[in-house]
Chain A
Amino acid sequence: MYRTLIALMCALYGSFAMAQATDPNLGRNLAAACAICHGTNGVNAGGLPHLAGLPREYIAQQLRDFRDGKRPATIMHQISKGYTESQIEALAAFFAAQPTR
């Protein structure tokens, strides 16, 4: 039962990831929501972490750590739970690719 569920989840995840891979604007569109606190394209206007140009894996790991309660937060633990693993990957890839200014 458990195995079947895992297999099913993998299949679903796979097809989801493939569907997303076809949309070149996925990361851009997802990241746009972060701009109200982190600045347009992750370039911060002051007072909160600057995300543009940070290493992709670092950004993804911070989001996972917020989500899993491993990194303490006031708000990011609540926001990060709203994103799937593939969306976290897309966000991280987008911000990592942005110029720092």
Chain B
Amino acid sequence: MSHPMNRREILKLIAAGAASTTLASCASTPEARKPLARVIVIGGGYGGATAARYLRLWGGNHIEVYLIERNTNFISCPLSNLVLGGSRQIDDLTMNYAKLRELGVIVLNDEVVSIDASKKRISLKKIADLDYDRLIVSPGIELMHEQITGYSAEAQKRVLHAWKAGPETVALREQLTSMRDGGVYVLSIPKAPYRCPPGPYERASQVAHYFKQAKPRSKVLVLDANEDIVSKKGLFLSAWNDLYKGILQYVPNQEVRELDAMTGTVKTEFDTHKGDVLNVLPPMRAGNLARDAKLITHNNRWCDVDWLSMESTAAKGIHVLGDATLAAPAMPKSASMANNHAKIAAAAILAQVLGEAPNPQPVIANTCYSYVSDSEAVHVTSVHRYDAEKKTLLTVPGSGGVSSARSALEKAYADAWARNIWSDTLG
């Protein structure tokens, strides 16, 4: 990164196909084979994996890309509510990083101990320190259990969030299948912003769908800390009214402040509710990796970024992606957005390596499907364009919207969305 002009000139020569003798004569020297920059990506979710992939797709061998991920597999949060509803298995949502490796990404199954932004160096648990030219941090979310009295480490063994797809998803499904018919499942939703705005309402729908099929005397009780349904309100209300009347009850303005895992009780400001299965989503913030690297700038929870490059406003040379960012106005914390953030960052980093200005007007689009049963789905979509005056991404007036009605066709599109975003993210 210290000689961008030289690199730029080299790349221009390569692009033009000129000076072939010069290139050919030095192609065998180690110097010529050296990549122009090393980018380390930490976190192999939708944001990080997409960034690693697009840096290689767009930058080829000129960019050396590391992807550090502590889990061996990628498990998709989108569609994981279907595991609770019974129409998908966790294995359907479990993928690996083999195709990223084929593309030349150096995927390390390791955990980052610390980031030194001034030395541009990271420390890892298993291997020696690594230097970087650019760092991408895609840390996901941390659940703030401490905000709810009684949500201790012990209580967390019994009361699950299942808001990170994986073993908890399977364990919550087991709690539901072993629950008595006539039991109550309580889902509590924190105040926005949280990961996946429509996710809790989809989950309520999926559990209600399962009860309707298998345990028709059981109930779903949704306690929402928000004053109303946060996303796709009309579509969820109509699905609940048409499909789950008498099974699903929705109560707004119910912020859970305390729980008792042994008695299955949750307390809000004025009310106490009991359930056979408690599924309490605590408030959320950017992942610990972001906190430890001092990237959290807003409200002790989220990371501010420059939306032209996704570079942290708190640390030069470090880009932050996905749910951990302080979202631009009306931008959801979603897999679609994390995937799109990654492409803004990849393009900006490549431009920077070449000594060029980043794209002055990124345009990205969000598409989120929610399954309201095993056979029908709904969507919300939005297009976000960079506003140079306000220095953020704003939704384009007149664009975006939600489904006109739930349908089987949109369920097929939701399945196709999943196949395509998985292959776009992982190869």
A contact set with B: CB distance below 8 Å:
19, 23, 25-26, 28-30, 32-40, 44-48, 74-75, 78-83, 87
Contact = CB atoms under 8 A, between A and B. Distances in A.
25 contacts: A25-B347, A30-B363, A32-B343, A32-B347, A35-B339, A35-B420, A36-B340, A36-B365, A36-B424, A37-B413, A37-B417, A37-B420, A39-B420, A40-B57, A40-B424, A47-B420, A48-B416, A74-B403, A75-B381, A78-B381, A79-B367, A80-B399, A81-B399, A82-B383, A83-B383
Q: Do most interface residues of chain A lie in helix, strand or loop, or is the interface mixed?
A: helix
Nearest to A43: B423
B90 to A, nearest CB: 21
Interface stretch (B67-75, B120-128, B299-307, B404-412): B404-412
Nearest to B414: A47
Given A36-B420, A82-B383, A29 B343 contact: yes
A36 B383 contact: no
Interface string B328-367: 0000000010011001000100010000000110111101
Contacts, number: 110
A26 B359 contact: yes
A47 B363 contact: no
A29 B347 CA distance: 7
A35 B399 CA distance: 19
Interface in B383-404: 383, 385, 395-396, 398-401, 403-404
Given A40-B424, A78-B400, A33 B413 contact: no
B132 interface: no
B419 interface: yes
Please classify how large the interface on chain B is, using the bins under 10, 10 to 19, 20 to 34, 35 or more. Answer: 35 or more
Contacts of B404: 74
Interface of B: 54, 57-58, 336, 339-340, 343, 347, 351, 359-360, 362-365, 367, 379, 381-383, 385, 395-396, 398-401, 403-404, 407, 409-410, 412-413, 415-417, 419-424
A79 B400 CA distance: 6
B416 A33 contact: no
B359 A82 contact: no
Contacts of A38: 420
A37 B58 CA distance: 20
Given A47-B415, A74-B407, A87-B363, A79 B381 contact: yes
Contacts of B382: 82
Contact of A74 (B336, B409, B422, B423): B409
Which 7 A-B pairs rank lowest in CB-CB distance, beginning with the nearest?
A82-B383, A47-B416, A82-B399, A45-B423, A81-B399, A82-B396, A78-B401
A29 B399 contact: no
A98 B372 CA distance: 36
